[in-house]
Structure 1
Amino acid sequence: MSFQGKNILIIGASSGIGHALAQTLQAEEAHLFTASRRPVEGILSQHFTWDVSQPLPDGLFDTLPQPLHGLVYCPGTIQLKPFQRFSNEDFKNDFQINVLGAINAIQATLGRLRKANGASIVLFSTVAVQTGMGFHASIAASKGAIEGLTRSLAAELAPAKIRCNALAPSLTDTPLAASLLSNEEKREASAKRHPLGRVGTPQELASAAKWLLSEEGSWITGQIIGIDGGIGKLK
């Protein structure tokens, strides 16, 4: 699956899954464009500075090329606590990062995606949307919105040959999850909760995102794909 000459924008490429995907696509000779709060180390890309907890700055992506063949929105949150302890601000912050940031990025680049005659949008949900998990109220609420957005956009944009899919991971060994995997006891307990006996890696999610961006995934749209070690479906 060749990405040579393809223009791909990755939001949240400075660490975790986004960085793993950028490394993967760089090896495939894609033309990369990245956006995050800080520069992306080890990646040759045109970088845009954007803190997704804030609205998209006007005109930020005006220098992106046309067409844009792929958009991947990787930012997320992990804020786990009893429901009664969540404030309105907690929910708003999670919604801004997980949902409004994705909406802003898609709206700002849609014209360029339309010109690709076969573009792909990849978003990220969580296993906690379809599988009820205690203390996940805020993240499940915002990522649930991402799943609805994914299906709605897939339907609306299909005539323009723009595909939209989402990956729904379980716990993955990224900086975002560092507090949940901060010692061997926590890591072992997390691993045991998954039927396959371990947590995920950024590269596994990056490989799935690469597939959805590629020609090999060109007949797939409107899907929420679980990459979760079996925890979402198996006992």
Structure 2
Amino acid sequence: MALSGASYLVLGAAGGIGAATCRRLREAGANMLLAGRSEANLSPLATELGCEALVVDATQTEAVEAAAQQVLESFGRIDGVVNAVGSLLLKPAHLTTDQEWADTLAANLTTAFAAVRAAAKTMRRPGPAGVSGGSVVLISSAAGRAGFASHEAIAAAKAGVIGLARSAAASYASVGIRVNAVAPGLVRTPLTERIWGTPTAAAASEELHAAGRLGEPDDVAAMIVWLLDPANSWVTGQVIGVDGGLANVRPPTRRR
């Protein structure tokens, strides 16, 4: 991978998928600014990886732009932005409050828009040797591609991420900015533990995935890093399911 010396902003860096992505990037020799809402969660990861960390509320677009600018100032270049910020609300529409709806959109869609806008403002500028551009990776969900009960708010937000990624890919292709999204299935992270946290619940969730298992953060991180790699510069406007088949493949009704 051609990531050595490249510089990235990772929003939601201390979460399950965010941290796995940061570890892969660091192993590849990349520089990073780790951004998140909790200094207590960011600090151990920053110490582990030897990276800068910044407390950022990614729902605030100006704060995300300032973080992207800090990447430029710290490393002299910015090659990509990852938005690994998100939330999970499992309620049908009639039980979802206005505040829950607003919070879900803010955490999942507004943060994605902020990442795209910050990337567009910083990565369109000439970098080393006059080169601009780079890669933006957003996180959608299998719930944004297929219908699941009690997912109305999160499905709407994650479907919005898909539309955002495709439109932004069209807007910024001419300046070398690629925009893609990954759409995970159920991944074992602290955020989703209430779904799979008991053996019975985990087994039921595994049955929904044709691959017969839940995802691990590194499953998704591997695809995110692949999309960041400039070696894959002909890939843009794509939504790639990293979901064990959840969105598109019906598993057998009984495993053997």
Is TM > 0.5 for Structure 1 vs Structure 2?
Answer: yes
Query: Is 1:141 equivalent to 2:150 in the alignment?
Result: no
Q: Distance in 2 between matches of 1:53 and 1:213?
A: 23
Structure 1 range deviating more: 195-204 or 39-48: 39-48
Q: Distance in 2 between matches of 1:120 and 1:179?
A: 33
Which of residues 117, 131, 147 in structure 2 aligns to 1:107?
117
Contact kept, 8 Å, 2:2 with 2:231, in 1: the verdict is no
Partner of 1:46: 52
Q: Distance in 2 between matches of 1:165 and 1:29?
A: 22
SS in 2 for 1:64: helix
- The residue type equivalent to 1:70 in the other structure is G
Contact kept, 8 Å, 1:56 with 1:105, in 2: the verdict is no
Partner of 2:77: 67
Query: Is 1:177 equivalent to 2:183 in the alignment?
Result: no
What are the Cα deviations for residues 160-182 of structure 1, in whole angstroms up to 9, with x where unaligned? 01000000011001111011111
Distance 1:229 1:59, change over 3 A: closer
Task: State the superposition RMSD in angstroms.
Answer: 1.6
Which of residues 219, 243, 246 in structure 2 aligns to 1:231?
246
Query: Is 1:189 equivalent to 2:199 in the alignment?
Result: no
In the superposition, the TM-score normalised over structure 1's length comes to 0.94
Query: Is 1:218 equivalent to 2:239 in the alignment?
Result: no
- The residue type equivalent to 1:154 in the other structure is A
Contact kept, 8 Å, 1:172 with 1:199, in 2: the verdict is yes
Distance 1:180 1:69, change over 3 A: same
- The residue type equivalent to 2:32 in the other structure is L
Structure 1 stretches of 5 or more lacking a match? none
Aligned-pair CA distance for 1:102: 2.0
Identify, as 1 or 2, the structure richer in helix: 2
SS in 2 for 1:98: helix
- The residue type equivalent to 2:242 in the other structure is I
Q: Distance in 2 between matches of 1:110 and 1:55?
A: 12
Contact kept, 8 Å, 1:70 with 1:213, in 2: the verdict is yes
Q: Distance in 1 between matches of 2:61 and 2:115?
A: 10
Q: Distance in 2 between matches of 1:20 and 1:170?
A: 16
Partner of 2:10: 10
Structure 1 range deviating more: 132-141 or 56-65: 56-65
Q: Distance in 2 between matches of 1:125 and 1:214?
A: 19
Structure 2 stretches of 5 or more lacking a match? 251-256
In the superposition, the TM-score normalised over structure 2's length comes to 0.87
Q: Distance in 2 between matches of 1:157 and 1:53?
A: 22
Aligned length: 235
- The residue type equivalent to 1:99 in the other structure is L
Which of residues 68, 88, 97 in structure 2 aligns to 1:87?
97
SS in 2 for 1:33: strand
What are the Cα deviations for residues 166-202 of structure 1, in whole angstroms up to 9, with x where unaligned? 0001100111101111111111111111111111010
Alignment of 1:11-30 (within 5 A): 11-30=11-30
